Amino acid sequence: MAITRFNDITALIIDDSNMVLISVRGSLKEMGFIESNITHTATISKAKYLCRRHIYDIVLCDYNFGEGLNGRQFIDEIKHLKKFPPTTSLVMLTGESNINVVRGIAELYPDEYLLKPFTFNLLKEKVTIAIERRSALQTVYQLLNKNDIEKALIECERLLPQQPKFKNKLNKFKGEFLLHLNRGKEAEKLYRELLRTDNSTWCKVGLANSLNAIGEYKAASDIFEKLLKTNNKNVDVLHYLGQSSLTQNNIPKAIKYFKFAADLSPTNPDRVLIIANLCFAVNDYKSSLNYYLNYAELSKGMYRENHSTILNPARVMGIIASYSEKNSAENRQLISNIKEILKTFLLLEKEANENIHVELIMVKLLLLEGDIAQALALLKGTLSKPHDDDFYSSFFKAELFAELDLSKESNEAIERCKTLCADTQNKLVLQSQIVMASNFQKKIKKRNIKVQKSFEDGLAFEKQQDWQNAIKCYEFTLRLSPYLGVVSFKILTILSHAWPTTRNRKQICELAKSCDKTIINFWSSDQRNKANYSPLKEKVWLQIKLKEVDDNA
């Protein structure tokens, strides 16, 4: 039913321009809104306060507010807090014609949006249609808000003959609901029927998603590829191609498409987080770091900003530093950056037990700086404290345990990750987390196979009394798993009676110190006594001193 009267409709206008506030307020009054039913504010903080306490029939929100949250982040925040009821229409306003901004607004799926400056007639048209649509489909939105998709689908069927004006929106809903309910065949049938009379992109995208859902990946990909040839900057198509690739476990391809979409619409935080997770899963740690930093920036001041949002970049920096040359400029810069992030985090207001996440990163820092004893002492103390994990804190704990060759603890942490995935609301973020956990387990399994192989090769070379190659194999083993006491013991045993001719005294001295540090910190005194470690250590240092004498002779 067309709306002819606005006298009982409430409106909230959010814009930091006083001129726009006055203009829009005046236009709404001219349309028939009662002045007492119109509220306006120039700040996001006041808008959040108002939306927490009042329900509005329509919200008209600007995009750009200078510093702080923008309109997109505000809407994201309010929807997350469930303070945006299904009866409320959203009209986004923007003075930015930047296509990336427009794409970002479109991904919010507002009821309508307006590019400033706009005429009275255009504003009236957009406000009217937004309110009419919400009013006509109110029962569907209410069921959707309750996540009762089955009943929402039935309601769409009921409304289709009654609301011909909004048949496209109802059919869009219907297709999405069928896919959500894993009724891919029915969704395919619906979209094929729609395409007989409507050649719209959304129908083709819907058909492709339906084909994906029933495992017809090639047919779905062909549709998406044709759509891209028509418009290679269609964010929805690129995003769905990423989703399709992820479903087929083609992670590099998923990353490629998600990155293309993110380049075109860079303010979608969920997609940025998905890319960060997937890049990490394929060991592209530097790209992962950039996207985690981007996600942290997009999350500032929002519900998304938690300890993992802030600390994930530091966690990834620690892993990158592990692969960088010790004491190199890159290594020192990474360690410095980690410390800055920790310092910033400690200054924030937070729960007392959140400091534990900082302590675990400090363990990694101490390992990077070579202070194994203090790292292990801090780790032991930290793990004895009660604390809450989310997916990321548990995941990076598994990484730390794996580095320390604590297999049992690492396995427990990664299994805990799988449970914590369920807390994730966004389906694709959830999938990316599952890929992270799965690829981590594969990576550790491959590493353990390589460790076993190189260790066995070292034993074989020892039997042949080929000390040079035996040490090479054992050193390679330690590069894969740096804190294996048995391997360090093997190296020191060789050094106690044989001198590698390809190494100078300084190199051997550093190797011996590193192995000694591992044994002292990872073996108990009983283990060292049973292995007669003290006499062995004396022999190694005697060899090194004799070499020094020879070199000075």
Which sequence spans correspond to the domains of the chain?
A: 1-136, 295-439, 447-552
Q: How far apart are CA 337 and CA 110, in angstroms?
A: 39
* Range 273-276 contact pairs with CB under 8 angstroms and sequence separation of 24 or more: 273/429, 273/432, 274/242, 274/428, 274/429, 274/432, 276/312
**Closest C-alpha among 435, 73, 396 to residue 274:** 435
Tokens found for residue 156: 């769409």
**CB-CB contact of 421 with 430 (8 Å):** yes
**Closest C-alpha among 460, 495, 488, 493 to residue 474:** 488
CATH 1.25.40 holds for 295-439: yes
- Other beta carbons less than 10 A from residue 275's beta carbon: 26
- Other beta carbons less than 10 A from residue 513's beta carbon: 13
Tokens found for residue 233: 């900057």
Tokens found for residue 285: 């740690």
Q: Which CATH architecture has domain 1-136?
A: 3-Layer(aba) Sandwich (3.40)
Looking at the DSSP assignment, which residues form a beta bridge with residue 404?
none
The per-residue DSSP string of 85-145 comes to -TT-EEEEEES---HHHHHHHHTT--SEEEESS--HHHHHHHHHHHHHHHHHTHHHHHHHH
**Closest C-alpha among 265, 267, 233, 15 to residue 116:** 15
* Range 73-82 contact pairs with CB under 8 angstroms and sequence separation of 24 or more: 73/44, 73/298, 73/301, 73/302, 74/14, 74/44, 74/47, 74/48, 75/108, 75/110, 76/108, 76/269, 76/302, 77/48, 77/302, 77/303, 78/48, 78/51, 80/303, 81/52, 81/303
**pLDDT value at residue 424:** 63
Q: For residue 325, give the DSSP letter.
A: P
Helix (H, G, I), strand (E, B) or coil at 460: helix
The per-residue DSSP string of 341-394 comes to HHHHHHTS---GGGHHHHHHHHHHHHHHTT-HHHHHHHHHHHHTS-----HHHH
Per-residue pLDDT of the chain (553 residues; tens, 9 = 90+): 455 578 899 999 999 999 999 999 999 999 999 999 999 999 999 999 999 999 999 999 998 887 778 888 999 898 888 888 888 999 999 887 677 777 888 888 899 989 888 999 999 999 999 999 999 999 999 999 888 999 999 999 999 999 999 999 999 999 999 999 999 999 999 999 999 999 999 999 999 999 999 999 999 999 999 999 998 899 999 999 999 999 999 999 999 999 999 999 999 999 999 999 999 999 999 999 999 999 999 999 898 999 999 999 999 999 999 999 888 999 999 999 999 999 999 888 777 678 889 999 999 999 999 999 999 999 999 988 877 789 999 999 999 999 999 999 999 999 999 888 866 678 999 999 999 999 999 999 999 999 999 999 999 999 999 999 999 999 999 999 999 999 999 999 999 998 888 788 888 999 999 999 999 999 999 999 999 999 999 999 998 887 765 565 4
Helix (H, G, I), strand (E, B) or coil at 502: coil
User: For the chain, how are helix, strand and coil distributed in percent, rounded to 5?
Assistant: 70, 5, 25
Contacts of 154 (CB under 8 A, 6+ apart): none
**pLDDT value at residue 421:** 81
Matching fold, domains 1-136 and 295-439: no
State which fold the 447-552 domain adopts: 1.25.40
Q: How far apart are CA 341 and CA 306, in angstroms?
A: 13
